[in-house]
Structures are given as C-alpha cells and as structure tokens.
C-alpha cells in the first residue's frame, strides 16, 4: 500500500506574495523616486550650485575687507548632543581680500579676545562654512560678530544683528523663552 502525500495548502502570506509580487516590486522602485527632488536640492546646496546657502544675509564690511554671509539652512538651530544648539553659516570673502585674510571667525556676542573669537570658517575663500554654538542665555536682540585676522597681524570686527542674520533663530529663541522679548 502506498501512502499518497497530500499537498499542503499555501499559507496566506505565500498566496499574497505570488499574487502581488510584481506590484510590490514596482513600488520598491517608485517610492525612492519620490524622495529624489529633496536629494537633488540637498546636493545642489552642499556643492554650492544653488548659492552660498538657503538664505543670503548680505555683504558686510569688516575693516578694509568684506564678507558675503548666508544661512546654510533657513531653519532653527539644531541640537548637537552635549555641545548644545548650533547654527551653521556660510560665507565668501571679497575677491580683493582673499590673499590678505588669514582667518575669519563667527560668534554670537562680542568676543573678549582673538582666542575667544568663536567658530572659525573652514573651506575655500569662495565658500567657507562655520558652525556657531548658541549660548544658553542668548537673547533675541543678540549680535553675530564677524572677526577677521589678516596676514599682517591686523584684526577687524563687525557686528550683524541676529534678527538680520537669522530670523528663524530669533523666532526660535523667542519661543524658547515663552514669547518674552
């Protein structure tokens, strides 16, 4: 006598997969395509093809030199772990002052000395970036200080109101303080 083996019924998951496998695979290709515009916008921002940043603040004279300043992202500051909240700015030196400027710094609040000048700009003179920490007691009427050091040893400073440099940061600061000016 031979035992006939009965076929096991297919599981519901197996039936679902065999019925819809082509449609699911098409979705796996189409879903990433939906994120492509954001990806290409970010690539253009990081490469500099869309400008210095999302929001250009303007050109500011700092002693005999000048710098074009921009917010890298026109958004509130981001929490960076134990370092606290940080805001990123980009800048470009004027063509005449590229060979004369040794270093450029950015800080919220007036620096006490060159040693405390703030975050240093890095990158080429045509597209530099600096990340600035926001002190806990920053007020919405604070100023963003630009410090430039020349190869000849001269140091020049300029202040930009934070309201002009980053309105989103000022709005965030007011929200953090509970709407108090």
pLDDT score, position 111 = 92
Residue 5: pLDDT above 70?
Answer: no
- Taking the mean position of all CA atoms in its chain, how far away is CA 140? 20
Query: Which tens digits make up the pLDDT trace of 62-100?
Result: 999 999 999 999 999 999 999 899 999 999 999 999 999
Measured distance CA(56)–CA(70) in Å, rounded: 4
pLDDT score, position 89 = 96
Which ranges in the chain belong to alpha helices (H)? 12-34, 36-47, 162-165, 167-176
Q: What is the pTM of this model?
A: 0.80
Residue 6: pLDDT above 80?
Answer: no
H helix or E strand, kind and range, residue 65: strand 65-71
Measured distance CA(168)–CA(75) in Å, rounded: 6
Residue 29: pLDDT above 70?
Answer: yes
Residue 176: pLDDT above 90?
Answer: no
b/e burial code for range 17-47 (CB count within 10 A of at least 16 → b): eeeeeeeeeeeeeeeeeeeeeeeeeeeebee
- Reported as a pLDDT band with limits 50, 70 and 90, residue 159 is very high
- Output the CA–CA distances (angstroms, integers) from residue 64 to 61, 98, 114, 151, in the order listed: 7, 12, 18, 13
Rg (CA), the chain: 27
């Amino acid at each position: 006598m031979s035992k006939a083996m009965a076929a096991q019924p297919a599981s519901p998951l197996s039936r679902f997969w065999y019925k819809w496998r082509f449609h699911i695979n098409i979705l796996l290709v189409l879903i990433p395509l939906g994120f492509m515009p954001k990806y290409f916008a970010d690539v253009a921002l990081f490469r500099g093809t869309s400008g210095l940043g999302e929001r250009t603040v303007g050109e500011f004279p700092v002693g005999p030199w000048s710098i074009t300043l921009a917010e890298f992202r026109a958004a509130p500051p981001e929490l960076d772990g134990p370092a606290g909240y940080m805001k990123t700015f980009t800048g470009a030196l004027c063509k005449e002052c590229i060979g004369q400027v040794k270093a450029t710094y950015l800080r919220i609040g007036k620096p006490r000395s060159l040693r405390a000048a703030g975050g240093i700009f890095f990158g080429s003179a045509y597209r530099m970036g600096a990340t600035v920490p926001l002190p806990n007691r920053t007020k919405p009427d604070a100023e963003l200080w630009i410090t430039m050091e020349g190869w000849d040893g001269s140091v020049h400073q300029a202040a930009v109101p934070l309201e002009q440099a980053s309105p989103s940061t000022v709005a965030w600061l007011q929200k953090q303080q509970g709407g108090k000016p």
